[in-house]
Amino acid sequence: MSIKKRFIKSKQACKVTFHLPKEAAGDTKDVKVLGDFNDWDMDKALPMKMNKDGFAATLELPVDSEYQFKYLMDGETWENDWQADRYAPSPFGVENSVVTTFTQ
């Protein structure tokens, strides 16, 4: 799992690419990213596309913010990103992954 960030100075935005590798996905056929950026709403979930390395999706987020998120695999298994910027407790007694878009 990994998160790649590319800052776009002209838009004050950050393109964030979420990646779930094959090893972590196993036999999973469908992966979505849910988090603060889509209000944890299943109807707004960011679908990840399968490629030769696993699943990936890119999202443009405002800079100087942080967002909690998780991967939802096959509509039933929640997974954190193993290389998240940090982790934060959730109201459900588990931790969520956090991606930050702070500029230096």
Tell me, what CATH number does 46's domain have?
2.60.40.10
Full domain range(s) for residue 25: 2-100
Question: Which residue would you say has higher pLDDT here, 2 or 65?
Answer: 65
Write out pLDDT tens, residues 23-58: 989 899 999 999 999 999 999 999 999 999 999 999
pTM exceeds 0.85 for this model: yes
Q: What are the two backbone dihedrals, phi and then psi, of residue 44, each rounded to the nearest 5 degrees?
A: -105, 10
Distance CA 69, CA 34 (A): 6
What total number of domains does the chain contain?
1
**Contact by Cβ (8 Å): 98, 85:** yes
